[in-house]
Amino acid sequence: MTTKKGQYRQGDVFLMRVETLPEGAEKEAAAGEGTNVVLAWGEVTGHSHAIPGEYAIAYQFKGERLIEAKPGAVLRHEEHAPIELDPGFYKVVIQREYTPKEIRRVID
């Protein structure tokens, strides 16, 4: 589901458009041909929020994860509608929830 231009949410994954990669962002090692760039794994179901590797590159910068979406990038998850992403750079934010004991990642 698109929330605003340049912002996308699929379950507990939120993508926020950024103009460019920050200087010093490091490319993550690609897992190999035919694999996906996984943005989040479902801890209960084992499902994943993922983009086919030929359409996305993942980066790390100061503890944050960013992706470059190429033309044709589609974010998929087994329990959500697919989302076609506009080409560009995005910061990956995983939703958190408050409990009396801790603030933790939402379990998808």
Which residues make Cβ contacts (< 8 Å) with residue 70, sequence separation at least 6?
54, 55, 56, 57, 87
* Structural domain includes residue 25: no
* Structural domain includes residue 9: yes
* Structural domain includes residue 27: no
Please give the residue range of the domain that contains residue 55.
2-20+35-105
What is the DSSP secondary structure assignment for residue 100, as one 8-state letter?
S
Total structural domains within the chain: 1
For 89, the enclosing helix (H) or strand (E) is strand 88-94
List, for residues 6-25, the tens digit of each pLDDT value: 899 888 899 999 999 999 99
List, for residues 21-73, the tens digit of each pLDDT value: 999 999 998 766 678 999 987 665 667 889 999 999 999 999 999 999 999 99
